[in-house]
Amino acid sequence: MSELSDMTGASRPVRLGGAEYFLSPLSLGDFAEFDAWAEEEFWRRTQERVARMPEGLRERLLEKAYERLGDGDVSVDAMMTVAGTARLVWLSLRREHPDVTPEQTAELVTLETRKRVQATLDRLNGLREKEEGSADPKAGAAGEDRPRTGGEPSEH
C-alpha cells in the first residue's frame, strides 16, 4: 500500500460471494460501534448461559462477566470470532455499500474467505504492512489489495 493511499483512506476491493466490494478504513467511530456491539453480544451470550446454570453458579458467572468487561478483553476477543470478523467487514463495507446489511455480510464472509478479508482489513487499517508470503510490502494479492483510485465508480 502506498503512503498516499494510507493518508487518503483509499478503499480496497475484495471479492465476496462472487461480487466485488470495496472495503474502507475503519474510523474511531466504527471501532467504538464495534466495542458496543461486542459488549452487547457478550451480555446476550452471558445471559443465555446464566439462564441454563444452577442457581448457585449464576452469581459467580455474572461476577466473572463484569471482570471481563472491566479488563477490556471483550472487544479484542470478539475480533477473533467469525461473527466479529463479519461485523468488522460490514462496518468497513457500509461507506461504499450502504445497502448491505450486517446479516448479508455474515453470509458473504465464509470460512474460506475470512482470513483473506481479515488480512485486507488489517492492511487497510495499518495493522499489517504486507501480504503474507510477499517480499514486497506494496505487493497485493492478485488484484485484491490494490487501492481504489478516484476514477473508479462505486457500485451500490
Per-residue pLDDT of the chain (156 residues; tens, 9 = 90+): 444 444 456 889 999 999 999 999 999 999 999 999 999 999 898 889 888 988 888 888 888 888 888 777 888 889 888 899 999 999 999 999 999 999 999 999 988 889 999 999 989 988 765 444 443 333 333 334 444 444 444 433
**Domains identified in the chain, total number:** 1
17, part of any domain:
yes
Residue 113 lies in a domain: yes
156 part of a folded domain: no
Structural domain contains residue 77: yes
What pLDDT, on a 0 to 100 scale, did the predictor assign at position 148?
43
> Which residue's C-alpha cell is 497485493?
140
Residue 78: domain span: 3-124
11 within domain boundaries: yes
Predicted TM-score of the model (pTM): 0.72
Query: H or E element: which one contains 139?
Result: none
Cell numbers 443465555: residue: 48
* 3-state secondary structure at position 23: strand
**What would the grid cell of residue 147 be?**
487501492
Give domain status of residue 152, yes or no: no
Within 10 A of 128 (CB to CB), how many other CB atoms are there?
16
Task: Report yes or no: 35 and 45 within 8 Å, Cβ to Cβ.
Answer: no
